[in-house]
Structure 1
Amino acid sequence: MNLFADIRSAVVDALGRMTAEGLLPSGLNLSNVAVEPPRDAAHGDMATNAAMVLAKPAGKPPREIAEGLAARLMDDPRIEGADVAGPGFLNLRLAPAVWQGVLRQVLEAGTGYGRSDIGAGQKVNVEFVSANPTGPMHVGHVRGAVVGDALSNLLAFAGWNVTREYYINDGGAQVDVLARSAYERYREAHGLEPEIREGLYPGDYLIPVGEALKAKYGDSLLDKGEQVWLADVRDFASAMMMQMIREDLAALGVRMDVYSSEKALYGTGEIEAAIEELREKGLIYEGTLEPPKGKEPEDWEPRVQTLFRSTAHGDDVDRPVKKSDGSWTYFAPDIAYHYNKVKRGFDQLIDIFGADHGGYVKRMKAAVSALSNSTVPLDIKLIQLVKLWKNGEPFKMSKRAGTFVTLRDVVEMAGADVTRFIMLTRKNDVALDFDFDKVLEQSKDNPVFYVQYANARINSVLRKARDAGIVVDDATLLAADHSGLAHPAEQALLKKIAEWPRLVEIAARNNEPHRVAFYLYELASDLHGLWNRGNDELQLRFIQEDVAVSQAKIALARSVGVVICTGLGILGVTPVEEMR
């Protein structure tokens, strides 16, 4: 189904023939041989770097390899031209019938077109969001949630067995702060003035928690020391916050498979077991770290700590796992949590963190490498900041949250579909501007509108065709004669559709769901371009007087619609059939 992979196979076969004929040495590594769209469409339909990457190991000039390869590829009826360019690049031109055959693949496969098995059923754990259970999620969590969910969809579409996981950071001091903040709202529910002192969470979202505490405990906790109520209020408030977080995620269309608790690691022996595993590998020792960079000697107090020899697995410095007072560092439970994922049998781990976790990447990768004996790769995606704008100005903070704009604020103002698409219009490690005015405007500059409008136009064509009495079910369109789709604008659209399976595999292999959003915008642009040309060139319009010609052209439009709907599905966006 992947035309680029099919042509690459033809290139590999031709290279095999050259080897058999003694023109190339045996044993050449062909893994870097690629077939891809050329940078300039004027150069051809596809290009291969085969001669360039094989010249040195083969001990031959690249042009000599390219010319021999071109001659053999011309035996393939799908290839109309094979031209050597520059030092040895090979540009290929395919027969129009090859591109027209793409429509058959799309209409036969439907939304399965582009689906891949490159994941081979491997188990991958995608951990994302993982916000502290201390309040509603903010706009930064929106982007992480969208990237994680879209990546999970993409990997599943490409053949991986995906588990979406949320790690509840409920083991630190922040949940004690939550409990104290909730207790003040509990006092408020009894008509007392809450003391929201510095360091507590000021958001109004804790008012319902205080009221719920009153309903459960009555006045039994009033005027009691926190040694009486802290643990109970902490668990109660954390549970209510997690319910709020689940509802926020649902509003964005995100549902997790697993929720794991950091607190559950304490007192169960899991942290101790993970550290002992590292100790048995000779990676735990007692030592003193060098002063951090930028610290003056008088500001640094050296102390003996229990350290993980993370430098043995690619980190810059060794990392403490136990403090000098005997308590675990924040890193220790994270090691145990990832060890738990390794023991659960995942073949690959992906963590999606906020940009402020940049210094955490190497140490976490080192821990997973050590615990899995370098068999389980960990990919960590850092999510850069989202800047909100409205009316040309930075969008102000949410009163409900107290200090930030919430996920629910964004979804209620822009809608889940718009929010999800826009969050994927930049690579995860690039900052993103989210302008509420621009993301809702109907223009080419608004990518989600532009893609949705393309799908709406396609559905408009289908409705008008039916109204005109033209049969346009997929079986009929599949049987149509597509050979007349020879205009350069139509061919360009066919070629873009053919890129979809290749795009899926590249995006999945690199864990980059934003590539899908980019591709959909380009595909929509090609569809709009053909549509607009039809305003002046009547032969390019999708509905013609000749029914058979109409059905061939509508098959092209329908195929674009299938790919758009499939791609939007991966992004978690609902396609629209009509713009209002």
Structure 2
Amino acid sequence: MAENLFATTRNHVVEALRQIVPDLPDAVLSRIEVTPTRDPSHGDMATNAALLAAKPARRKPAEIAAALAGALAALEGIDSAVAAGPGFVNITLSADSLRAVLPAVLREGIAFGDGAVGAGTRINVEYVSANPTGPMHVGHCRGAVVGDALANLLTKAGFAVTKEYYVNDAGAQVLALAWVVYWRYLEALGTKMPEAEFEALVPGGALQYRGEYLIPVGEALAARHGGALADADRRPLPEERWLDLVRDFSLDWMLRAIREDLALLGVRHDVFTSEREILARGVADEAIGRLDAAGLLYEGVLEPPKGKMTADWEARPQTLFRATQFGDDVDRPLRKADGANTYFANDIGYHGDKIARGADVLVDVLGADHGGYVSRMRSAVAAIAPSYSDRPVAFEAVICQIVHVLKDGQPVRMSKRAGTFVTLRDLLDEVGRDAVRFTMLTRKPDAQMEFDLDLAVAQTRDNPVFYVQYAHARCRSVLRAAAENGGFGAVDAASLGAVPLGSLQAEPELALVRRIANWPRVIEGAALAREPHRVAFYLNDLASDFHALWNRGRDDATLRFLQDAEPEATRARLALVEATATVIRSGLAVLGVEPVEEMR
């Protein structure tokens, strides 16, 4: 596992501070940070240690900072440490300390940056979980990419991750799907039944999911069963004669299509959990029973929701969960007046099932319309976890906001196949998987974003996926040219990992080394914050540093990567180039994006 220079320096800071201020509480020491300086002229790193220690030590921050700077400056590998501002210490590492990162990168390959901060903690990341009633659309796409990249990130940081998809196959929406497929089935048999006439048969009197994507489902149903699901005149049979069969057929078809879409996006889950199956096992009733045994249920009547007129509200006695004891705004109904479980009760049962399977942390990646769901689910997990596990269990949510698709500067609103929205297939066909995945990670998930189809395929600096892949392609072109030259020896990673690096002294070269050295810290911080977009930001910065060095070489011959007159210096630069390409590949692997060997 690669050395994290920031973690190593932090250890030095903590040990030095313990000597200066003995008996500091662990709560203070745990908050000490060592971070990159915003201004390179201030050094490589800065620490807030003196500021944190001042109050418990009853000493001035500047006094502690001065003593800490003196202790750090005496350590091998640190060129200087200077007290600054109200109590910070700026640290400058020796060039040898920085350059020592490159052999580690070349030795470990894309595993460089793998961390142990997760310590094997078992995290269940549930994402996508789209209702199996239609094609995946661009909204699902963002959650799929964010969830998948987050799971990859957590794995790289040392967590034990399960990627899960929850199949909502038990609700009324699945029955509504079956009715529409049956209508399309009758059409496939040649029965041109007017929509209004068919709707009169449908419970609730309305057809949902009218998109053309269900036409082939009806045709496939007709191909398999012929006219067996209709009467002799190919008219509808009573629903008890066909509903279960058509529902199961439709679900199988839609889930197969969803899996295909996810595979095209590069998303593969470890577990697909059927809502119908786990409810049949009684998980919801079991969870309700556990809450009841803990004294957390009561029979009561809820206040009307805010904004409801009294005349619109019918007070009904229900089984309520004391959610307010666990931080929720109101107590929540788990059973309706007729004794049926609420959707929330089913969700509690499902999360209890995940805990029973061994999860220590439950992460739900949710759509923009689920913001109000978070506090109630967090309270439920806090309430039920002790009855399922003797370990602490946490619930977290990542909310993915709406994506607006643009082409030629105008909103793209429809797909003929889906009827009302842009499908994932549309998006992939237009710009390709790599552009979709990288672009979806160029904004924080909780920020709305515009996905510009033209920008996603543009070969310009403004297109982040192109900019990063171009940096990798440039790295590979340098290494190919060196191999073809033949005068610089072997240019594989193992050979370059053994070359002397002392000639890497120019500031643009060292800036690139510093960026590479920051990679393990980025992984650790992004994983702990559950923010995979930080990886995309980092890759853009790394690519920028590399492109800057490339461009400097055009103006300054001494910075060119390949110099026939200086084979040893060239080999050192090739080590830097190979390390840069390796870290780009490492980051792209987290994002689920393929590196490219050359741009075409």
For 1:313, which of 326, 330, 341 is the aligned residue? 326
Letter in 1 for 2:472: N
Which residue of structure 1 aligns with residue 126 of structure 2? 127
After the TM superposition, list the runs of 4 or more consecutive aligned residues in structure 1 that deviate by more than 4 angstroms: 24-28, 194-198
From 343, 347, 350, the equivalent of 1:337 is 350
Residues 28, 52 of structure 2: 8 Å contact kept: no
- Tell me the residue number matched to 2:437: 420
**What residue is the counterpart of 1:278 in the other structure?**
291
d(CA) in 2 for partners of 1:500, 1:333: 41
The aligned counterpart of 1:410 is: 427
Residue 398 of structure 1 aligns to a residue whose secondary structure is: coil
- Is the Cα contact below 8 Å between 1:422 and 1:439 reproduced in 2? yes
Amino acid at match of 1:572: G
State the shift of 1:117 in Å. 1.4
1:30/1:208 CA distance change after superposition, 3 Å: same
Q: Matched residues in 2 for 1:494 and 1:185: separation?
A: 61
Q: CA deviation at 1:26?
A: 7.2
1:266 Cα offset (Å): 3.2
Q: Which amino acid aligns with 2:512?
A: L
Q: TM-score, normalised by structure 2?
A: 0.94
Letter in 1 for 2:411: P
Cα distance in structure 2, aligned partners of 1:550 and 1:543:
5
- Superposition deviation, residue 354 in structure 1: 0.3
**C-alpha deviation, 1:501, in angstroms:** 0.2
Output one character per residue of 1:226-253: Cα deviation in whole Å (capped at 9) or x when no partner. 2221121111101110011010100101
Counterparts of 1:374-453 in structure 2, within 5 Å, are: 375-453=392-470
SS in 2 for 1:52: helix
Q: Which residue pairs with 2:226 in the alignment?
A: 218
Bigger CA drift: 242-251 or 319-328?
319-328
Cα deviations across residues 479-536 of structure 1 (Å, max 9, x unaligned)? Answer: 2221111111111111000100000000111111111000000000000011011110
Q: Secondary structure at the match of 1:220?
A: coil
| Alignment correspondent of 1:577 | 597
Amino acid at match of 1:453: Y
SS of match in other structure, 2:478: helix
Give the alignment's TM-score, normalised by structure 1: 0.97
Aligned residue for 1:372, secondary structure, equals helix
Q: Distance in 1 between matches of 2:219 and 2:348?
A: 38
Aligned partner (choices 553, 573, 582) of residue 562 of structure 1: 582
1:108 aligned to 2:125?
Answer: no
- Cα distance between partner residues in 2 of 1:360 and 1:25: 41
What are the superposed Cα offsets for residues 255-282 of structure 1, whole Å, 9 maximum, x if unpaired? 1111111112334322111100011111
Q: Is the 8 A contact 2:168 2:275 kept in 1?
A: yes
Task: After superposing the two structures, state which structure 1 stretch, 462-471 or 56-65, moved more.
Answer: 462-471
Q: 1:459 aligns with which of 451, 476, 487?
A: 476
* Equivalent position of 2:504 in the other structure: 485
**Range moving further from structure 2, 263-272 or 285-294:** 263-272
Instruction: State the match for 2:18 in structure 1.
Output: 16
Asked if 2 retains the 8 angstrom alpha-carbon contact of 1:19 and 1:26, the reply is: no
The residue aligned with 1:361 is 374
CA distance in 2, matches of 1:109, 1:27: 33
Query: What does the per-residue CA deviation read over 1:61-95, in whole Å, with 9 as the maximum and x for residues that have no partner?
Result: 00000011111111102111111111111101111
Deviation at 1:211, TM superposition (A): 1.4
User: Take 1:26 and 1:213, find their aligned partners in 2: how far apart are those partners?
Assistant: 69
Distance in 2, Cα, partners of 1:573 & 1:27: 40
In structure 2, what is the Cα distance between the partners aligned to 1:549 and 1:560? 17
Cα contact 1:185–1:207 (8 A) shared by 2 = yes
One-letter amino acid of the structure 2 residue matched with residue 509 of structure 1: L
Of 184-193 and 266-275, more deviation after overlay is shown by 266-275
Counterpart for residue 202 of structure 2 = none
> Which residue is 1:551 aligned to?
571
* One-letter amino acid matched to 1:564: I
Report the CA distance shift for 1:390/1:551 in structure 2 as closer, same or farther (over 3 A).
Answer: same
Query: Quick check: 2:183–2:218 contact (8 Å CA) kept in 1?
Result: yes
Distance 2:441 2:458 in 1: 18
Q: 2:217 matched to 1:200? A: no
**Amino acid in structure 2 at the alignment position of 1:213:** L
Match of 1:529 among 529, 548, 551: 548
Quote the offset at 1:404 in angstroms: 1.1
User: Would the aligned equivalents of 2:21 and 2:57 in 1 still touch at CA under 8 Å?
Assistant: no
SS of 1:526's equivalent in the other structure is helix
1:539 equivalent in alignment to 2:541: no
1:184 corresponding residue in structure 2: 183
In structure 2, distance between residues paired with 1:200 and 1:193: 18
Q: Do residues 352 (structure 1) and 360 (structure 2) align?
A: no
Deviates more, 1:129-138 or 1:222-231: 222-231
- Residues 180, 207 of structure 2: 8 Å contact kept: no
Equivalenced residues, count: 577
- Most deviating of 433-442 and 465-474: 465-474
Q: Which amino acid aligns with 1:55?
A: A
RMSD: 1.3
Aligned partners of 1:28 and 1:58 also within 8 Å: no
Residue 156 of structure 1: how far off its partner (Å): 0.9
Distance 1:15 1:107 in 2: 34
Conserved in 2, the CA contact under 8 Å of 1:165 and 1:257?
yes
CA distances 1:390-423 after superposition (whole Å, capped 9, x unpaired): 1111113111111111111111111111100000
Structure 2 residue 289 is the aligned partner of structure 1 residue 289: no
- Which letter does structure 2 place at the counterpart of 1:478? G
Contact residue 169 and residue 262 of structure 1 kept, 8 A: yes
Post-superposition Cα deviations, 1:104-130, rounded to whole Å, max 9, x if no partner, equal 111111111110111111211110000
Is the contact between residue 124 and residue 163 of structure 1 (CA under 8 Å) also seen in structure 2?
A: yes
1:131-280 correspondence to structure 2 within 5 Å: 131-193=130-192, 195-196=194-195, 198-222=206-230, 223-280=236-293
Match of 2:89, SS?
Answer: strand
Partner of 1:53: 52
Unaligned runs of 5+ in 1: none
1:86 and 1:216 mapped to 2: Cα distance?
A: 77
1:185/1:194 contact within 8 Å kept: no
Residue 195 (structure 1) shift: 4.6
Q: Distance in 1 between matches of 2:459 and 2:193?
A: 47
Matches of 1:56 and 1:144, distance apart in 2 = 44
Query: What secondary structure, in the 3-state scheme, does the structure 2 residue paired with 1:437 have?
Result: helix
* Change in 2 beyond 3 A, CA 1:194/1:391: farther
Q: Residues 24 and 53 of structure 2 are in contact (CA less than 8 Å); yes or no, is this contact kept in structure 1? A: no
Percent identity at matched positions? 54
Say if 1:28 and 1:54, in contact at 8 Å, map to a contact too.
no
**1:579 Cα shift?**
0.2
Moved more, 215-224 or 94-103: 215-224
**Letter of the aligned partner of 2:103 in structure 1?**
R
Moved more, 323-332 or 440-449: 323-332
Paired position in structure 1 for 2:312: 299
Alpha-carbon separation, structure 1, partners of 2:176 and 2:25:
67
The unaligned stretches of length 5 or more in structure 2 are: 200-205, 231-235
Which stretch of structure 1 is more off in the superposition, 218-227 or 316-325? 218-227
User: Partner amino acid for 2:545?
Assistant: D
